[in-house]
Amino acid sequence: MNNRDPKPKVKAGKRIYIISLGSLILGVFFICWALIHIQAQAVPAVYNGDNDLPPIQVDQQKGVKGSTVVPVEAGGSISTPQHDDILYPIRPLEGDVIGKLSIPALQQILPIIHGTDEDELEQGIGHFSQSVLPGENNNSVLSGHRDTVFAKLGELEIGNKLVVETSAGTFTYKISAIRIVHKDDKTIIVPTDHAVLTVITCYPFRFIGAAPDRYILIADLIDKVRSPQT
C-alpha cells in the first residue's frame, strides 16, 4: 500500500493555479493599459482652457509648426489639391501673417495669422493650422477672441460676405449658416466637399470667465480671383 502524503501534490497544484491566475490578471491589465495608451495617442486633444477652438478629433495625425494636416473625425477622408490647383506652393509657418479678413457689413479689416495659440490670437485672427488655407477646397477655420477682433461678430447675418485676401488671391465667401454650439462640440471642424470658411469665437460675447459655448459662422466660397503668381 502507498502511504505517501498527498498534501505536497495539493500544495503544488495550488501554486500552479495561483501563478496562472496572477499571469492572467497581469495580462489583462497590460492589454487594457496598451489600449488606453494607443487611444490617447490616436485622438489628441487640440483644446485647452478658454481657447476659441472647440476640441477636435484628429485621425492619427498631429499638428506641428508649418503643418498642412487637416483635422478630421475618425473615418473621414481628405482630398489634396491637384498640382494645377495648388494655391500655396510655400506653406506658412505658425506665427506668419498669411493675409487679411475684410467684413464689409462691419467695416472691419483684420489680419490673419497662421496658428491659434495665444501669441497669434493677440495679433489678430488665428488660422487653425490643421485646416486648409483660405481658398482651398475643404474647411478653412479662423478663430478670434470675442472681446477683441470678433466683438461684433454677432451682428452679422446670413448672406453677409467675408472676403479673405492672401498671397494666393482674393476669396469671397457668403455666410450660409450661423450656429451656437457647446465648447465640446465636435461637428464643426470637419471635412467638406467644397471650399468653406468656418469662423469661430467664444459665446456668450459678454460672458465673464471661460465661455461655455462657441459662436460659429459657416460661409461658402462664391468667388475667387487668383493672384498672378499662382
Catalytic residue annotation: 145, 202
CA distance 11 to 18: 11
3-state secondary structure of 148: coil
> Among residues 142, 91, 90, which one has the least CA distance to residue 120?
142
Helix (H) or strand (E) holding 73: none
Residue type, 52: D
- The secondary structure of residue 19, as a DSSP letter, is H
Could you list the beta-strand ranges (E) of the chain. Answer: 97-103, 108-114, 125-127, 138-143, 161-166, 169-182, 195-203, 213-226
Q: Which cell goes with 172? A: 469671397
Cα(163)–Cα(173) distance, integer angstroms:
6
